[in-house]
Structure 1
Amino acid sequence: MRALRLSPLSFGLLAALAHAQSGNVNPTQNSTQAPGGSLAPVFVTANPLGETDLIAPATALYGDALTRRQTNSLGETLNGLPGVSTTTYGPMVGRPIIRGMDGDRIRILQNGVAAWDASSLSYDHAVPQEPLTIERVEIVRGPAALLYGGNAIGGVVNTIDNRIPREPINGLTGGVDASYGGANDARAGAAQVEGGNGRFAFHVDAFDRETSKERIPGFAHSDRQRALDGPDANEAYGSLPNSDGRWHGGALGGAYTWADGYAGLSYNGFEANYGSVAEDDVRLRMHQDHVAFASEVRNLRGPFSQLKFDFGYTDYEHKEIDNGETSTTFRNHGYEARIEARHRKIGPFEGAIGVQLSQNTFSALGDEALVPTTQTTNVALFGLEEWNVTDAFKLSAGARYEHVKQQPTAAGNDKFASAHDRDFNAVSASLGALYKLTSLWSVAGNVAYTERAPALYELYANGPHDATGQYLIGNPDAQKEKAVSTDLSLRFASGPNKGSVGVFYSRFKNYLTEFNTGRLVDDSDQVVAPGTDDALNEAVYRGVRAEFYGIELDGKWRVFQKGAHQVDVELTGDYTHARNMDNDQPLPRISPLRATLAVDYGYGPFGARAELQHAWGQHRVPENDLPTASYTKLGLLVTYKFHVGATDWLAYLRGDNLTNQDIRYASSVVRDIAPEGGRSVMVGLRTRF
């Protein structure tokens, strides 16, 4: 199967078809949805019991709130939410970081199961998901994410779409999103059509995004990096070399729905071609096919009242093209299946148990093979129980056991000849409590013990990676990563006014991370002199004792309301402190203290938002890293909603980084050679019918 190649004409045809045939829409279709067609605020990721009053620290984005944040990558779309930053590797690439943790400590799910890619292996590998096709994003921070495995030790990001319809649809509905602008002249569009007869339902969507080189406020290299480059270096200015790209694709799905459930199947394809901002001559060509099956049955008789099954199979490939020739081909294919069974009350307890199975085979083939072909098999059992002790006091307990097996194959490559099979048994458990102090105030806390098996690249990496300018070396004898984590939050909710402030602490034994050795090497890991062409920074994976702690703040207050006029003020902020306890050195790529103040104004169909974000400088960096400077970023958004016949429209104008700041995220591995975009303006139009 190959991804659909779609053009703006495709979007127009889909929209016209839906508009021409749109008729009687079942009014109950939106009974589980929020305004604008987005899913209602019931968290499906944090708790299989489907509650809204969660113990876990969690955030959901949907509807207009998601629309106004959508950018070129999933990481940048979520960047700035409490505790969330992004890896960012140019405008097309960004993977979420939660509380300073990234890679295989953050599980990125698509409708609850894995869609295999290579984004956790390296920062230049994009997450193959288009933000315009996502209806809802759920972020679960901290120990409550253990139901998804040791690889969720930092948190879970679950993107949810309706490619498998979960509710009955009568007639036809659909939508079109289009936008232009930004610091890279992004042209983006997406369209979808859904229809059904009350029993059978279908979904079709298509998307296309293309960008030019990103405009930047000044030099691509930072002041400190230019001092290291020397006076004779050719320095890029005004735009970021090799930062253009394009991706496109689409999906087709269908389902049979009934009063107590649904069952359906979907396929989606994704194609991308973008440049590596670390190497002017390296481009990445990516392709992914993903097939999913999902079903849920409610109101069952017997010990279980509800069963939910999710399955996804993914075939992923990307090639790194160096000077027109393929240097490395990354492939990852496999499946993940998850079954959750919600049981009836057992005394005061209600909860769910489940089984999760996955197997994937990852390979990096070519002259610059980074890891051996490795098959990873994971079998897990998990459960969650809750006890409403009183109307004001609730307890929860969760546990998970998983068996992980890594099976490498050298395939004739001598540098992987010593790689051997590894087996791990990982156990995790958590306790949580929520106490309502009053009808408006509550306090929630969680504590967990989590074990994570090393990822294949942490074990077996032994090769160059030109796209990041590194030579990576794994530790084949690495042991499990173990952590004790806790968080505590105070929450307030009263109508439109709500807020929370929370603290967290995690202590790791054998925290596995990259450490730069300070040596420059060639493709054969032989030391070379500074200034040598194609020199690579040698980095090794090493386990250390580590601790993370910090604070997260999120609040929204209605400060004025008169007639149709209303003004809301939002304040968010976070801070993460992370250190290597073995040598008391900071851990790399940790975001500094950040704070965002926003004012929202609404008057009938008109809306406006001003947002001011300040990030302090990050000077707590490892010895071989450079610090980052502070920045203050200003953004403005103006929206207008209107109706044309039976269609709802939203037009918007968005300005980002209006102060044209030189912004370099401390969480980015390329921060000293690739800043974020400069001043930009974007216009967009969205319709739903």
Structure 2
Amino acid sequence: MLAFSAQAQQENETPDALPGGALAPVFVTANPLGSTNLIAPATALYGDALTFRQTNSLGETLNGLPGVSTTTYGPMVGRPIIRGMDGDRIRILQNGVAAWDASSLSYDHAVPQEPLTIERVEIVRGPAALLYGGNAIGGVVNTIDNRIPREPIKGVTGAVDASYGGANDARAGAALVEGGNGRFAFHVDAFDRDTSTQRIPGFAHSDRQRALDGPDANEAYGSIPNSDGRWHGGAVGGAYTWADGYAGLSYNGYDGNYGSVAEDDVRLRMHQDHVAFASELRNLSGPFSQLKFDFGYTDYEHREIDNGETSTTFRNHGYEARIEARHRQIGPFEGAVGAQISQNTFSALGDEALVPTTQTTNVALFGLEEWNVTDAFKLSAGARYEHVKQDPVANGNDRFASATDRDFNAVSASLGALYKLSPVWSVAGNAAYTERAPALYELYANGPHDATGQYLIGNPAAQKEKSVSTDLSLRFASGPNKGSVGVFYSRFKNYLTEFNTGRLVNDDDEVVPPGTDGALNEAVYRGVRAEFYGIELDGRWRVFEKGAHQVDVELVADYTHARDIDNGEALPRIAPLRATLAVDYGYGPFGARAEMEHAWAQNRVPDNDLPTSSYTRLGLILTYKFHVGTTNWLAYVRGDNLTNQEIRYASSVVRDIAPEGGRSVMVGMRTTF
């Protein structure tokens, strides 16, 4: 997939490129003070760069950005991984608050967010637990839309997106309309995405997996069985805006139906309803100059259907509310304090219930302060306290009869500094201590999950996960030339992760011999001492400019090393060293980009995992912008994996049975008015 530079996009795109009173290029996720000069490593993606990256899942859309990889479970499923951390360590937010789903529980559960309807994605790499809780210990992905208009809108604006192609013949489209009279504003959008079975360059199972399958196994070739799917949904919202704030309400619905690539007869059908309220008050008198409030309520359900019969129903419903108050300057300090409360109830009902019905309650207080010591030197410090309670109910299921309530008090603190070495060079550093309470499935899982071919076992006595993290980066910015190189290190006590035991079991967790119908891989959650370290590089340079002709060269690379400190064994699902070299050419309305991505082999895997081979992927995109009356148009043709490489992500739990797509061409059109 082509990986346009988010950093360059953030600098070069204007907010007017987004319809409907678009967002200013201020990073709202990483800093409630509205700073444009962040200490934390962060990336923003919006405008044309987001359009060109859009795929069938949020994870694949962001895959290849510095430090970001993805889980996959076929072409319809992908959840972002940041610096080797996934699941409950990466907070996926919608406009700053949770939109509950089941994507962190299991790799086959999709994130119910359609990239076509997102206006902006903000990614914070490294611990963001200070602002968003212990389950942001690895980072935050915040998708932002304009379903609640935050700025006045006069008249009517809108956009239409349509595309066709790719390795699974995806047919995708979205439309939005916004309007207002300068006070009242409304937003309406709808989307639909329909895909066929994904084409691949060879066998679905890898060479190593086919050797384990045996000579008599029926091996799929040329496509991945049961990899088709469809998403559709829409939203409506409105707001009242004034000079010093706004208040609004929105509703969005999401439906999905897709196959499990691990089981030919299993389909997953999901539905999500999400209601949000947001308001901001600015230029207040008194001790606080600004108040911001966000609230979201979500009702989510998905059913796993085996041979036409519903085997398990997953439900997750709850709310999250968050208030931030920016105080007036106290001496040299500028800062904000806030509170957050959330409660959600998760249940897995049916023959394959793998966790008990569990209510999770989280109450937190946090604060962040900044001190501009000099024009060149800035310090930041913050802290967060949160109380987490897990309350399971067995509902008559003997597997969960021993599950008991757990309470956790988690504390996080961070320090950061930014120093400008010169007008174009700066250095930034961060240090953080973070605590994370175990997720419900890490505590209470005890059951089969046919969609992933596993029997999952939690650790009901698990303790808090604790980490100390640091990062240091050197940054450069001069006109169109921008870049950064950074290193990071995190050390964990009681890092909870899923390990394959190497045993094959049945639905009752009884050992069975290889080849048994319905055999499952037993996996357990285990806490270990762990460390993560690595490097991230992101740079873009203008190498030629004459008249309307421009040529930019871009280089993105990252590497993460993760291991169990006690035995030196590699942690599972870590992306290898990756590097992407791209050349962008622009001439008036015409644009072209050629890209080469190389991922090295990943041989550092746990004992019961299989390694992945290296690959080199080539991509090309051609664009043309034009006007018809008062409408603006963007047409593009995108070619991916042009050399038809067999690509298996080391970060995918199904890498040995479901590779990424083969050679493909996509055509797309976007218009705004």
Q: TM-score range by the shorter chain?
A: over 0.9
Taking the aligned partners of 2:332 and 2:16, their CA distance within structure 1 comes to 32
- 1:58–1:138 CA contact under 8 A, matched in 2: yes
d(CA) in 1 for partners of 2:174, 2:425? 41
Residue 610 (str. 1) matches residue 566 (str. 2) = no
* Cα separation, 1, equivalents of 2:643 and 2:132: 41
Contact 1:143 1:447 in 2 (8 A): no
Q: 2:136 aligns with which of 152, 172, 177?
A: 152
Cα shift at 1:367 = 1.0
2:159 counterpart residue number: 175
2:231 is the counterpart of 1:247:
yes
Give the Cα separation in 2 of the matches to 1:668 and 1:307: 41
Structure 1 residue 32, shift from structure 2 partner: 8.7
Matched, 1:519 2:506: no
Could you say which residue in structure 2 is the equivalent of 1:257?
Answer: 241
Q: Following superposition of structure 1 onto structure 2, how do residues 81-480 of structure 1 map, counting pairs within 5 Å?
A: 81-480=65-464
Per-residue deviation, 1:146: 2.6
TM-superposed CA distance for 1:578, in Å, is 0.1
How many residues are treated as equivalent by the alignment?
A: 659
Using the alignment, how far apart are the partners of 2:314 and 2:333 within structure 1? 46
Partner residue, 2:8: none
8 Å CA contact 2:505–2:522 kept in 1: the answer is: yes
Matching of residues 484-633 of structure 1 within 5 Å: 484-633=468-617
Aligned to 2:9: none
Cα distance in 2 for residues equivalent to 1:368 and 1:191: 39
CA-based RMSD: 0.8
Task: Say which SS state the counterpart of residue 68 (structure 1) adopts.
Answer: helix
Contact 1:144 1:446 in 2 (8 A): no
Q: Which residue number corresponds to residue 50 of structure 1?
A: 34
Q: In structure 1, give the amino acid aligned to 2:73.
A: Y
Q: Distance in 2 between matches of 1:542 and 1:362?
A: 22
Matched with 1:28 is: none
- SS of the aligned residue for 2:164 comes to strand
For residues 682 and 36 of structure 1, what CA distance do their matches in structure 2 show?
23
Confirm or deny that 1:682 pairs with 2:663. Answer: no
* 3-state DSSP of counterpart to 2:208: helix
Matched to 1:61, the amino acid is L
- For 2:585 and 2:664, locate their aligned partners in 1 and report how far apart those are by CA, in whole Å: 22
Aligned to 1:33: 15
Tell me the distance in 2 between the aligned counterparts of 1:310 and 1:143: 22
TM (norm. structure 2) is: 0.97
Q: Give secondary structure in 2 for the equivalent of 1:665.
A: coil
Deviation of residue 260 (structure 1)?
A: 0.4
Letter of the aligned partner of 2:617 in structure 1? K
Indicate conservation of the 8 Å contact 1:462/1:474, yes or no: yes
Contact 1:310–1:339 (Cα < 8 Å) also in 2: yes
SS in 1 for 2:486: strand
Letter in 2 for 1:381: L
C-alpha deviations, 1:202-223, integer Å up to 9, x for none? 0000000000000000000000
1:499: how far off? 0.1
1:611-655 per-residue CA deviation (whole Å, 9 max, x = no partner) reads: 100000000000000000000000000000000000000000000
Match of 2:632, SS state, is: strand
CA contact (8 A) 1:436 1:443 kept: yes
State the AA in 2 paired with 1:125: H
Judge conservation of contact 1:110–1:158 (CA < 8 Å) in 2. Answer: yes
The offset of 1:112, in angstroms, is: 0.1
Other-structure match for 1:11: none
Deviation at 1:582, TM superposition (A): 1.6
Q: Secondary structure at the match of 2:637?
A: strand
Q: Distance in 2 between matches of 1:188 and 1:261?
A: 35
Shift of 1:41: 1.6
Give the partner amino acid of 2:519: A
Q: Which SS does the other structure have where 2:124 is aligned?
A: strand
Shift of 1:51: 1.1
8 Å contact kept, 2:129–2:412: no
**1:7 aligned residue:** none
> In 2, Cα distance between the equivalents of 1:42 and 1:217?
42
Tell me if the contact between 1:138 and 1:159 (Cα under 8 Å) persists in the aligned partners: yes
SS of corresponding position for 1:93: coil
Residues 279 and 467 in structure 1, CA contact (< 8 A), matched pair in contact too: yes
Provide the residue aligned with 1:8 in structure 2. Answer: none
Once the two structures are TM-superposed, the CA of residue 39 in structure 1 deviates from its matched residue by 2.6
Of the candidates 461, 467, 475, which is equivalent to residue 483 of structure 1? 467
C-alpha distance in 2 between matches for 1:583 and 1:316:
40
| Structure 1 runs not aligned, ≥5 long | 1-30
Deviations 1:574-613 (A, max 9, x none): 0000001121100000000000001100000000001100
Q: Deviations over 1:121-168 (max 9, x none)?
A: 000000000000000000001024531011000000000000000000
Read off the aligned partner of 2:276 and give its amino acid letter: A
SS in 1 for 2:53: coil
How far, CA to CA, are the matches of 2:578 and 2:129 in structure 1?
A: 24
Is residue 644 of structure 1 aligned with residue 628 of structure 2? yes
Contact 2:206 2:657 in 1 (8 A): yes
Q: How much does 1:424 deviate?
A: 0.1
Counterpart of 2:261 in structure 1: which amino acid?
A: V
CA distance in 2, matches of 1:581, 1:513: 14
Q: Deviations over 1:22-42 (max 9, x none)?
A: xxxxxxxxx992434453321
Report the Cα distance in structure 2 between the residues aligned to 1:84 and 1:145, rounded to whole angstroms: 18
| Equivalent AA in structure 1 for residue 291 of structure 2 | L
What residue identity is the alignment partner of 2:640? D
Which residue number in structure 2 is paired with residue 24 of structure 1? none
Query: SS of the residue aligned with 2:656?
Result: coil
Q: Name the CA distance, whole Å, in 2 between partners of 1:32 and 1:51.
A: 17
User: Which AA in structure 2 matches 1:655?
Assistant: G
Residue type of the partner of 2:599? A
Q: Which residue of 2 aligns with 1:62?
A: 46
Report if aligned partners of 1:143, 1:446 keep a CA contact under 8 Å in 2: no
Distance 2:453 2:73 in 1: 13
Q: Secondary structure at the match of 1:228?
A: helix
Say if 2:129 and 2:434, in contact at 8 Å, map to a contact too: no
Give the TM-score of the pair, scaled to structure 1: 0.95
